[in-house]
Structure 1
Amino acid sequence: MAITRIESIKSKLKQSLDYIMNPDKTDGKLLVTGGNCAPEVAYWEFKMTQETCNFVIGDRATKSKNLGYHMIQSFDKKDKITPEEAHSIGIELAEKFIGSNHEYVVTTHIDKGHIHNHIIFNAYSYSTYRKFNCHKNVFKEIRVISDELCKENGLSIVEEPKGKGKHYKEWLENKKGTSWKSYIKDTLDELIDKVNSFDELKTEMINRGFEINIAEDIAVKAPNQQRFCSGKTLGDKYTVESIIKRINDKKIDKKEAY
């Protein structure tokens, strides 16, 4: 079973690309592939396309603040998929969904308990000079392609949820009970690697559509989630104190590296 999601990138595009291409997460960058661009210079190719679009169509290219989009495809441990198989499926997903209209980078992360793909693609199209239209059915389109690829590769899928109007992730939460927590934890882990302060982390979470409450501790609610999850229920690593320590420890490690 593969679970997919898509998020917009409104800032820190370079940091997002650096994060998904981290050699420690991608087997020394062996699990990194570029589509319509070279991964090593993907950020600059994204920027060149953005500037070209702005020049060609002017203000119409700046109405949306999105610089790119970040797709995540997570595989179930029970499927026992190899990193190479997961990466191949991620590439096929990108080719089918994005095609030749946008630059993109596909990576496979193997540093956690579950193998998962990251796909970042340019919001601007180098072929049409227009920005990607992230309409309400985009999530479903990605899931349909992902499910087809899983079937072709002998992997399990989530059957279509019954009931009209119910969000797919909401249905998963009701069925599995833990998917919202995993989603929040994965997002926090990703951002802790990028940001330099707790306030910056809160801003980035809000930009992605999360709601944040700070009382005795942090409480987070994902887009379309009905209830907040407190840091304590997410685990010891996700209290305010622990998050701040992780951010500070990361900064110390970077300084020592130099």
Structure 2
Amino acid sequence: MVAIKPPKQIKTPSNLKIAVRYILNEAKTLVKGDKETDMDFPLVYHNGEMHLKLVSGHGIEDVSVADEEMVMTKLAAAFKKGDDDLKELSSGKQVLAHHIIQSFSPDDNLTPEQVHEIGRCTMMELTGGDYEFIIATHSDKQHLHNHFILSTTNTATLKKLRWQKNPLKNLRAISDKHAAKYGAKIIEPTMKNSYTKYSAWRRQNNYRYEIKQRLDFLLKQSTSIEDFKQRAQALDLQIDFSGKFVKYQLTDQPQKRRVRDDTLSKKGRYSLEQIKNRVEKNQLVLDVSEIKERYQEERAQANNDFELKIAVAAWQVEQESKQGIYIQMDYGALNSGTILVPAHKVDKTEEGHYTIYIKEKDYFYFLNPDQSQKNRYMMGTTVARQLAKQNGEVLVTKNPHISSMRELIKEYNFLVEHGVTDGTQFQ
């Protein structure tokens, strides 16, 4: 949704001053208007007109000298630690601050003031208000973007922020949440792809996925290469064995380019040699006239399969965005926050409630708005059980191994009914 690159490290007071001056540049931060806003932006008279300067800070008295105020905080921290030589400030090896850029798409249709507010909310949630930072919203390019200078010294404990993988992951997740809340990329107040729509799209437009489903079915229902090609034609799958790689193309869908076998399986499962070895083991297969109907029956059953299904009440959803729904969640004692369930795992009911379809090993990123250090991943099983506990709904489960076993039993019965009780295919 919102682009955030890894932050640039600032290691000297002189570079900190340069960074502050750069992001506060009036040529980049001024927007026309003198209207009142929730933020107390400075008013600047420029070219005969009144402008807002989209800059603000937290823990900073005067943003124009933010670098000096941040250095003063670091001096206090140094004296507390007994660092009389002020090595952090003079060595050039310690990270004094981070320069972060948060970029928005031109299609978001947000005002500069809204972009600034998204940035402020993002940084406050990430830091818990315990670190000094300044924000400047730049409107000099086609896309709006925020610049942050974040000091690494905690103003409460005077300890240092260690920026590793987790803070960046937290920052991006928090940024997306607030961007969705304030309207980024939300054209309509509905999710882009529901579970039902996504399942249909994947069947119709993800050509590699559909080709592999048809090939896996044909591998069990062919006895030779020629038989394989004939049955593939019945399933609207064109096969070209003439080159180094086997090439596949769906004839019942608008697939423009043929797909090579090595892009479908790294292990060569759909190569000419492996197809030949596999189909020669089959003794009994369906009649060609039955192929298409039986395949469609199997796919219909598979497409309706899932592992965990749970109803979610409207009151459990903090916000709905084009990307999905943010659900209120508890994760252990005194740890409350939200998770994003992607739109392709959600169906919305006519009554305004939701049904989510997830797998046990799906991962969801838990966001604690008050203590970002508690952000972490939750597994699908934990999410489903927690939701069912919160709203009293019945958790519907399907074991994928049971589905596979049912398919094996069906194939076993087919062979036995036709007198095949030994051989490679039976085994």
TM class, shorter-chain normalised?
Answer: 0.5 to 0.7
Indicate if the aligned counterparts of 2:59 and 2:131 stay in contact, CA closer than 8 A.
yes
- TM-score, normalised relative to structure 1: 0.57
CA distance in 1, matches of 2:60, 2:19: 16
The answer to whether 1:52 aligns with 2:73 is no
Alignment pair present for 1:9 and 2:10 = yes
The residue number in structure 1 matching 2:53 is: 30
What per-residue deviation string (whole Å, max 9, x for no partner) do you get for residues 59-115 of structure 1? 598396111011110000111211111011111111111232111101100011110
Equivalent in the alignment of 1:107: 136
Checking the alignment, whether the CA contact within 8 Å between 2:110 and 2:183 is kept in structure 1 is: no
Q: Please tell me whether residue 66 in structure 1 is matched to residue 95 in structure 2.
A: yes
For 2:171 and 2:20, locate their aligned partners in 1 and report how far apart those are by CA, in whole Å.
20
Query: In the alignment, which residue of structure 2 is the partner of 1:226?
Result: none
Q: Which residue of 2 aligns with 1:120?
A: 149
In the alignment of these two chains, the number of paired residues is: 158
Say which structure, 1 or 2, has more relative contact order (CA 8 Å, 6+ apart).
1
CA distance in 2 between counterparts of 1:154 and 1:44 reads 36
Per-residue deviation, residues 31-67 of structure 1 (Å, max 9, x unmatched): 0001111212311110111111111124598396111
Q: Among residues 20, 24, 33, which one is paired with 2:23 in the alignment?
A: 20
| Percent identical residues | 35
| 1:13 and 1:68 in contact (8 A); partners too | yes
- Aligned partners of 2:60 and 2:132 also within 8 Å: yes
> In the alignment, residue 37 of structure 1 is paired with which amino acid?
I
Q: Which residue matches 2:111?
A: 82
Q: CA RMSD for the aligned pairs? A: 2.2
Once residues 125 and 61 of structure 1 are traced to their aligned partners in structure 2, the CA distance between those partners, rounded to angstroms, is 18
Quick one: which amino acid aligns to residue 74 of structure 2?
Answer: Q
TM-score by length of 2: 0.35
- Work out which of the two has the higher radius of gyration on C-alpha atoms and give 1 or 2: 2
More helix per residue: 1 or 2? 1
- Residue aligning to 2:178: 149
Question: SS state of the match for residue 137, structure 1?
Answer: helix
Query: Are 1:93 and 2:97 an aligned pair?
Result: no
Change (3 A) 1:61 1:141: farther
Picking from 43, 52, 62, the partner of 2:67 is: 43
Q: What is the 5 A alignment of 1:171-186?
A: none
Counterpart amino acid of 1:101? D
Greater Cα offset, 66-75 or 96-105:
96-105
Structure 1 gaps, min length 5? 160-258
Q: Residue type matched to 2:76 in 1?
A: T
Runs of 5+ consecutive residues of structure 2 not aligned to the other structure: 31-43, 45-51, 187-191, 193-427
Amino acid in structure 1 at the alignment position of 2:57: G
